[in-house]
Amino acid sequence: MAVPLSVTAYLLLFLAGLAGGFIDAIAGGGGLITLPALLTAGLPPGLALGTNKLQSACGTTLAVIRYGRAGLMTTPWMWLAVACAFFASMAGVRALTYLDQEQLKRLIPWLLAGVSVYTACNRRFGIHLGEQRMKPVIFAVLFGIVIGFYDGFFGPGTGSFWTLGLVTLLGLELRGATGYTKAANLASNVGSLFLFIPGGQVHFQVAGAMIAGQLIGARLGSGLVITKGAAFIRPVFLGVVFLLTLKLIWSAWHG
């Protein structure tokens, strides 16, 4: 589907991709920047969603590679969560045709507000390894299916829910949780694209401009995660969750 855009629009989308890739690599939530940029550029919602998935997947791939090299992808059964998220996200995209998103639009902001309050009140959140409250294989299947489906069906806050679960239920510190989260996010993005691309819901020229920015942003953001660690990730994570909560509340109640 062709949507003619100016050179200035492509430049702004490149910058949006860069900023989104940087934030995404650190704490998730890059879609706060990239999806509104695509909609502002004039892409219809379905085309914007598919294009956003493609450009985000490319930045996340680079972050995953860097986290893997830094030893942040060794959590037991992570591969199972990746597989479950991949297939569940495809089911989530299919469900878009049959299910109503309106209730989720009103529920998710309050769940994210809970994440924000919990993180803010727990000053040691993810700073050190904690207590494991769930077996990794059960966590991988449960979260892979539920959050993978959610990412394909709706999406906002996916990374925040992964991170909260990994820190509170598996006892990971934030660096390890970020690596796991990016791997699972990549799987659900790619799974979604298996349906968005054949459905003609990706603008490849726009995606190309944003991917160039995504790769730069993801490299910068992942480098900071690797070198700075949990003390750096926590405030960024908290800030992203707070902003995402406000945006979703506004969207849910004011269109």
pLDDT score, position 104 = 75
Mean pLDDT, rounded, for 56-72: 95
Tell me the torsion sign for CA atoms 151, 157, 163, 164.
Answer: negative
Indicate if the pLDDT at residue 54 is higher than 60. yes
**Residue 254 in this model has a pLDDT that exceeds 90:** no
Residue 128 has pLDDT above 60, yes or no: yes
pLDDT of residue 96: 83
pTM for this prediction? 0.90
User: In the structure, what pLDDT confidence band is assigned to residue 46 with cuts at 50, 70 and 90?
Assistant: confident
pLDDT value of position 34: 92
* Mean pLDDT score across all residues of the chain: 91
Inform me whether the pLDDT recorded for 255 exceeds 70. Answer: no
Pick 30 or 85 by higher pLDDT.
85
Give the model confidence (pLDDT) of 135-153 as tens digits: 999 999 999 999 999 999 8
Provide mean pLDDT across the span 90-107. 83
- 27 token code pair: 């704490």
pLDDT higher than threshold 80 for residue 23? yes
**At 11, is the pLDDT very low, low, confident or very high (cuts 50, 70, 90)?**
very high
Supply the pLDDT for residue 32: 85
Count other C-beta atoms under 10 Å from residue 75's C-beta: 19
> 167-225: per-residue pLDDT in tens?
999 999 999 999 999 999 999 999 999 999 999 999 999 999 999 999 999 999 999 99
pLDDT score for 3: 67
